[in-house]
Structure 1
Amino acid sequence: MLMPYQALRLLFLLGFSLFVASCKKADPDPLADLSSEKIAVVQAFNKVILPIQDADPTRDFTELAPLDTVLAKAQVVGMGEGTHGTREFFRMKDRLFRYLVQKHGHQTIAFEANFGRAVIVNRFIHGQSTGLASAAAAAKSMYFWTWSTDEVRELLQWMKDYNVGKSADKQLSFYGFDCQYADDEFPLITEFLTKVDPASVPRVDSLATQLALLGQASVTDQLRQQYAKQLTTLSNLFISNESQWVALGGRQEYEIARQAARVLFQQQDLGDASSCNYSVKRDRYMAENVQWMLTRANIGKLSLWAHNYHIANIPYASCNFPSMGAILKEQLTNKYLMVGQLLTNGSFTVVDASQSSRNLKTLSVRTEGVNNSFNYLLGKGQYANFAMNLHDAQLGSSLTDWLSAKHPLFEVGALFDESRSEQYYSITALTGRYDLLIHFRNTTPTLLLP
């Protein structure tokens, strides 16, 4: 039996606890600032989104299993990124590729990186002699700062380790489908011609000399035209000698050297990098190079790693011409799966467009400043990170209407001005642009390699 003072003390403690509890602020309602229409959209996508714990590529794959139906139908999976410098985007693509390898029979990944350099990186992954001492060296060698990161290093190291002890037909391969540089293509061609037609090597050396001259300010249109004509002649040489050269040098080696010659032509045809025409041609050539992998290189299933802008189905992109993804979607239809990645808030590695020095920095965005954007509303979901199948039959009318309507969409390429973040929104619909959406509420920058 409690003594009177004990009962009084117990009542005091109970009352005090209730008082503290009543004073404690309730968690703010994340939907409080939304209209009833937008609340209905959030409630609708909360019913269909697939929670993702994080982007760690070493994590168990169980939570990705519900995506098997859409992944199994694809021959080519385009994996996008909403910025070129977000750690979560990069690691999630690594994680998704590992899942595609282990569950869906993928053995090849191709980057938005130059073709010739990727051949060298692929040799490193296969344990061949390249002069690349480590996965970090391989990542740093790919010209773009975007790939000189710990996240890419981690992927390349995993691929190299995966290949150890496996037969050639079970090993993973690395390709590049970009064509902005010509540094590695000439050596690849010379390497092959030395085996099959040494007399043609001086012709290639002459072209390499001409390429160096094209970088000078005094270069004439006549020299440019002469260089382009001779590159066409080089490509035709491969075509006319195919049977003989394949017999002497091997089919795979022949195809790599022949494609290197084609990429040289693409590179010279891009023209001025500041022009609209440059972007149009680049996406067209990248789509062509992906098709080369499927046809000439005989790759059965392929994963692509690029910016959202390139992998997405954008029929009217640069200068109202289609993006790489739009071209591939038209060619491959439902065999091409587009995976877009978006953020609501976060920091990312990017070139600071506000400074003339154009230094790499860690900059940030909060999309609440554009509260009618896709990014902001997706951040209101019950899960911080999630995937959503944009073709899910359970989407519902309110969600389908929202996804199909045009709203602001935040995506950043290589440059960003933090003080003018509103300029980096495009007005577009998500339906048709992507097939599968992966969203991270808060993100961090990629880790640049020293």
Structure 2
Amino acid sequence: MHFSKKKHFLMAIICFMIVLSGCSNKGKVLVEAEKYISSVNEMNIPDDVKIIGFGEATHGNIELQNLKKDVFEALIKNEHVRVFVIEGDFGGGQEINQFILDGKGSAEEAVKALDYSIYKTEQMMDLVQWMHDYNATASGDEKIFFYGNDMQRYDYSKKGLLDYYEVVNKEAEQKYAVQLENASNTTMRSLSTKQLKEIDEVLESIIFDLQSNKVVYTEHSSSDKFAFALQYAQLMKQRTELFLNEGDYQQLRDQYLADNLQWIVEFEVARGHDKVFFSGHNGHVEKTSASLAGYKSMGSYLDEIYGTKYFAIGTDLLNSEFQALNRGSDKRKNYKIKNHNGLVDAFSEVEPDIFYVDFEKASRSKELLEIIKSEQKMVNVGDDFRSWQKLVKMFYTIEMVPNKAYDGIIILKEATPTDVID
């Protein structure tokens, strides 16, 4: 037994050293690499695409947050995209939408409605203010719209739902306001299973009431407002189901992210907008469900539903200093990582620091084709990170096949940390 323990310990050390040894391996520089890159504003998106997904390698880099605006602005000009969707709260997203359309409040107040710390940054506020300023001078059919497709909060979806009932059925609004009192952002993490099941039953009743009274309620409001009310109720039910199924949290969340994005696409198509832009983490955008956590990614669902009409753009980093939350200490810190793989190293000597590689174009190069169709360790950092993780490459990268996961990639040679504003 003693020998067995020593043997296992030795094997663990050997495996650890093997992992570490892979961190410094550099790929070859591609000759004439400039032929296969373009600027972000020159990206080529196929005409029949309905959803353009943009993935972030981390949630904590200034350059990645700025790319939200840069990519969307290019899509507005070149692809006539008018709908921006973020990996953020659906109800809170409608507060941003109202700000960019009506101008009430401020960009900072609107961003805080998402209640996601990763977005409480100068870059995100600049993006929302830019959207507001754009709409201020745009004609009616040129205006842009903002959505979130996430379901991890209650408050603003509940507000939207109860505000609707205030118009179409005041008696029901008073009843549901009482029954949903515990469904709030401040109390939701302390709810018992019994309380969550009660909320779930109330939401079932609300969805049934809305569907049963669709004709009457629509006559007192509009078809669009009815559609949003029903979606608010669905989002609240999704939030509740996540709590009731903690073991399947990641699996359910990405399924819901895909469902909600599909709802937005269909709603906006009916309003004459046939293309939608989505911005979120690489792990949600990519099509191959490469995460070691074993859940099916939103991008995989979208690939099944839309096929080639879903166009996924990932990001990867060479050198990055990023900000992330250490949930153990509940503090944000800056971390530095260096990443080498065949793909980023092939372009390491091109002049631009940020550039786009279209995989269809890259496939014309024999050397590049070999790289993008083979597994690469690509940066993948969420909002929870610890100092020890940067020592082992498997804790800040995911191994994936680039041209299966994405249709193109934006590479950043240097990236700097965001600063979350409390």
Normalized against structure 1, the TM-score is what? 0.80
Looking at structure 2, the residues matched to 200 and 357 of structure 1 have their Cα atoms a distance apart, in angstroms, of 44
**Partner in structure 1 of residue 365 of structure 2:** 396
- CA offset at residue 78 of structure 1? 0.6
* Alignment deviations for residues 340-396 of structure 1 (CA, whole Å, 9 cap, x no partner): 11110021121136xx313112221122xxx44644554354543221011226532
Looking at structure 2, the residues matched to 325 and 88 of structure 1 have their Cα atoms a distance apart, in angstroms, of 23
**Partner in structure 1 of residue 52 of structure 2:** 77
Identity of aligned residues (%): 22
- Of the three residues 397, 414, 430, the one matched with 2:402 is 430
Counterparts in 2 of 1:71 and 1:157: CA distance versus 1, 3 Å:
farther
Counterparts in 2 of 1:206 and 1:418: CA distance versus 1, 3 Å:
same
* Alignment deviations for residues 34-67 of structure 1 (CA, whole Å, 9 cap, x no partner): 88xx43x6227443122x4xxxxxxxxxx733x2
Q: In 2, are the aligned partners of 1:186 and 1:204 still within 8 Å (CA)? A: no
Q: Does 1:121 align with 2:96?
A: yes
Amino acid at match of 1:157: Q
- Of the three residues 149, 153, 163, the one matched with 2:125 is 153
Q: Please give the secondary structure, in 2, of the residue aligned with 1:347.
A: strand
Q: Does 1:202 align with 2:177?
A: no
Q: Does 1:64 align with 2:41?
A: yes
* Alignment deviations for residues 225-276 of structure 1 (CA, whole Å, 9 cap, x no partner): 2321221121121112222212211122211111100001000001279x45
- CA offset at residue 134 of structure 1? 1.4
Looking at structure 1, the residues matched to 167 and 361 of structure 2 have their Cα atoms a distance apart, in angstroms, of 53
**Partner in structure 1 of residue 377 of structure 2:** 408
- Of the three residues 352, 355, 377, the one matched with 2:326 is 352
Q: How many residues in Structure 1 have an aligned counterpart in Structure 2?
A: 392
Q: Does 1:310 align with 2:281?
A: no
Looking at structure 2, the residues matched to 214 and 138 of structure 1 have their Cα atoms a distance apart, in angstroms, of 22
**Partner in structure 1 of residue 305 of structure 2:** 331
Q: Please give the secondary structure, in 1, of the residue aligned with 2:418.
A: coil
- CA offset at residue 415 of structure 1? 1.7
- CA offset at residue 447 of structure 1? 4.0
Flag the structure with more relative contact order, 1 or 2, with Cα contacts below 8 A and sequence separation at least 6. Answer: 2
Q: In 2, are the aligned partners of 1:386 and 1:438 still within 8 Å (CA)? A: yes
- Of the three residues 161, 178, 185, the one matched with 1:189 is 161
Amino acid at match of 2:30: V
Looking at structure 2, the residues matched to 79 and 329 of structure 1 have their Cα atoms a distance apart, in angstroms, of 14
Comparing 434-443 with 414-423, greater Cα deviation is found at 414-423
Counterparts in 2 of 1:103 and 1:318: CA distance versus 1, 3 Å:
same
RMSD (Å) for aligned C-alpha atoms: 2.5
Structure 2 unpaired stretches of 5+: 1-23
What aligned pairs does 1:152-231 form with structure 2 within 5 A after superposition? Answer: 152-211=124-183, 215=188, 219=192, 221-231=193-203
- CA offset at residue 318 of structure 1? 6.5
Looking at structure 1, the residues matched to 260 and 197 of structure 2 have their Cα atoms a distance apart, in angstroms, of 23
Q: Please give the secondary structure, in 1, of the residue aligned with 2:81.
A: coil
Amino acid at match of 1:430: P
- Of the three residues 203, 214, 226, the one matched with 1:242 is 214
Structure 1 unpaired stretches of 5+: 1-32, 53-62
- CA offset at residue 403 of structure 1? 1.2
Amino acid at match of 1:277: D
Counterparts in 2 of 1:276 and 1:312: CA distance versus 1, 3 Å:
farther
**Partner in structure 2 of residue 343 of structure 1:** 317
